[in-house]
Structure 1
Amino acid sequence: MNPFGFQFAAILLLLLNTVMVLETQAANVKPQRITCYKRYSKCYLKYITCPSECPQIRPKDPYAKECFLDCYSPKCEAVCRKRKPNCDGPGAACYDPRFIGGDGIVFYFHGKKDEHFSLISDVTVQINARFIGLRPAGRTRDFTWIQALGLMFGSHNFTLEATKAENWNQEVDHLKCTYDGMSFRVPIGHSSVWSSPDRNLELERTSATNSVRVTIQEIVEISANVVPVTEKEDAIHSYGIPKNDSFAHLEVQFRFFDLSPKVEGILGRTYQPSFKNSAKAGVDMAVVGGDNKYKTSSLLSADCNSCSVFTPGKMVAGRALPMDFGSLDCTGGNGIVCKK
């Protein structure tokens, strides 16, 4: 056997040994148990063992799936789920920007650069987005991306934004957060956690940098990534990204609890029981309008033409008005969380 053959065999043996070690370590991890503390949940104080495929609730490996128990589901079972936003799942807002509504239909909403738009306007929560973008010569509209989110709930507000990055480096954190107008930082490191003083809002890092999960009790869970516009994307779409700006922006996926039937917003309207989406399923690059209806004056304003649903400080027994689930299919994966 020639020297290259020996080297190849040695590398292959090393890889096989590594795989065996990892499998042995995984097999030795004792599955944790998980429960729900929501009194109305079918899983209330029932301890469920996590699957062997994802034995840990908060795995140390940032690439591993986590054990998850949906307290709002009619089913009482622990499942595995990814810790990053799923840009192809209901409630997603990614790319430039592409949305997937509660009805499962894909649509695009371009808006305008350096302006703000309402994504969700409901009884107890308002979620706005700031768009960044550019318009190359000869185009009639802007290319846009979601740069920041602004949330208002009860008497509180929260912002999450991607900071500008001239040259993208995944090892550098580009997340900026505020709570009630005060800046704060979540400690760098996978699974680091920050909670508001009243514990109603929690941020957990889902990787060492640039990825978090935001949970507002009884209202919404948001998975968010900060990502750049890549050279490949720039070449495919002819964005015209400048050399001194990577256009860092957010990829997000929302999971809502107890939306009211009157919920509004670019994304919110798709969760209305009677909503008829003008973007037909299966149509490539289906663009919907609504700039005038959903434009707000700032990231933390609820003054758009279709934002009358939200009332600052409004709470209904500490939570949102329930939706009429009698007209909904709770098993169709439409992004609406049903519960009994």
Structure 2
Amino acid sequence: MGVLQLVMVAVIWSTAGGAASAGVVKKAGPPPNVVVGKAMKGPPKGGVPSNGRFEIIQPGFHKRKYEVACTEEKGRPGCYVGCPSNCPNKCLVFCSYCMSFCMCDIFPGTSCGDPRFTGGDGNTFYFHGKRDENFCILSDADLHINAHFIGNRNPDLKRDFTWVQALGITFPSAGDHQHLHRLYIGARKAVEWDEEEDHIQITFDGEPVDVDAVKNARWEDSSISKKAGLLSVTRLGAVNTVLVELDGVFSISANAVPITEEDDRIHKYGKKTASDSLVHLDLGFKFHALTNDVHGVLGQTYRPNYVNKLNISAKMPIMGGAPKYIVPSGSGGLFSTNCAVSRFHHRTTNTTAAARRIGGVSYAS
């Protein structure tokens, strides 16, 4: 689960007394996959993360049970926080609420696995797409995001499993809408997964973005435009986890992960037929200025008038209509804005001025 979505979950849970995700208020208590830290009996030992931000911890690297020490804040006693049992080796800790979360939980706006999206309306659905193809995830007046799908076939199940391997993000310069910027966020292919090796690859306008492999290391470019503001990349961990932000437009968290033997055993992905570890991205988005006309697999779920026609009570609600979202071959690849539901090329000054702006948070994998 991404950093930005977790802030909302923590605040909602804290202020609502533990409301269930379906809107039914239950006895106060943490939501699933959340650990509420125990009160500290003395001064914190070791490093203390900033209470205003999330901290990624990886107990798997330690020989004993590992917990983060959080200091007192606004009358709240300090606490120690460890990882939930569902993700004992890596999780996110939010000290302000003495909570920890698995990296990819199901909350509004998240998505993981054989792409399972939770849209802006809070409903979860699957969109399988097609391996080795690009699909329009979000298209709006000033922002277009495509996703490249990789996949693997299990001969026993006779279908492809797919995952998001990369994003191609296109947005215009302020004052010159003919000048488009292109941002690439992808996962490097690896025959064998090495958790100490960085598998994240980022380029901006064709140039590599190099960020030191140190937690909280930061790269930024303020030359894009006065309107768009600062573009930055911050490492949330030394390797494989970054936060990419364009001021006033979007924030994206990206976490590179493989398909493990345990994943294969549970879901029957047929990994033994693959030639690599199927490294892909768990992704999180926060949008700051979407219009009412936004579209795309995920984008449409942020429309105020969006009507979900899927059977949300089904075990696997599936969004069909893949041809509407596929990027035509030969039309520009991952950075093409020519999918059937594209809104990017319809941009006009009048349309943009008239559109009521909306915001939202979402996650994909």
Common fold by TM > 0.5: yes
TM-score, length of structure 1 as denominator length: 0.71
Partner of 2:59: none
Distance 2:312 2:321 in 1: 19
Partner of 1:213: 243
Q: Secondary structure at the match of 1:200?
A: strand
Cα displacement string for residues 88-115 of structure 1 (whole angstroms, at most 9, x for unaligned residues)? 2222232111100000000000010000
Q: Secondary structure at the match of 1:142?
A: strand
Aligned partner of 1:266 among 297, 305, 308: 297
Aligned partner of 1:299 among 313, 324, 334: 334
Q: Alpha carbons of 1:186 and 1:249: their partners in 2 closer, same or farther (altered >3 Å)?
A: same
Q: Secondary structure at the match of 1:218?
A: coil
Distance 1:222 1:139 in 2: 34
Aligned partner of 2:139 among 116, 121, 134: 121
Partner of 1:192: 217
Alignment length (residue pairs): 276
Contact 2:138 2:296 in 1 (8 A): yes
Distance 1:102 1:54 in 2: 34
1:26-175 equivalences under 5 Å are 65=93, 86-137=104-155, 139-154=157-172, 155-175=180-200
Distance 2:348 2:221 in 1: 18
Aligned partner of 1:256 among 287, 308, 311: 287
Partner of 1:23: 44
Amino acid at match of 2:166: A
Q: Which runs of 4+ in 1 moved over 4 A?
A: 19-22, 24-27, 29-33, 49-55, 78-86, 314-317, 319-322
Q: Alpha carbons of 1:85 and 1:114: their partners in 2 closer, same or farther (altered >3 Å)?
A: same
Greater C-alpha radius of gyration:
1
Q: Alpha carbons of 1:50 and 1:292: their partners in 2 closer, same or farther (altered >3 Å)?
A: farther
C-alpha displacement of 1:256: 1.2
1:4-23 equivalences under 5 Å are 23=44
Q: Secondary structure at the match of 1:166?
A: coil
Q: Secondary structure at the match of 1:215?
A: strand
1:286 aligns with 2:343: no
Aligned partner of 1:236 among 226, 242, 266: 266
1:182 aligns with 2:207: yes
Q: Secondary structure at the match of 2:186?
A: strand
C-alpha displacement of 1:22: 6.7
Gaps of 5+ in 2: 1-39, 54-71, 80-89, 173-179, 224-228
Aligned partner of 2:277 among 221, 246, 255: 246
Gaps of 5+ in 1: 1-18, 34-48, 56-61, 68-77
C-alpha displacement of 1:181: 1.2
C-alpha displacement of 1:311: 3.0
Identity among equivalent pairs (%): 36
Measured on the aligned residues, the alpha-carbon RMSD in Å equals 3.5
1:321-340 equivalences under 5 Å are 323=356, 335=361
Distance 1:214 1:246 in 2: 25
Partner of 2:22: none
Distance 2:143 2:169 in 1: 7
Amino acid at match of 1:143: F
Structure having the larger proportion of residues in strand: 2
Amino acid at match of 2:234: E
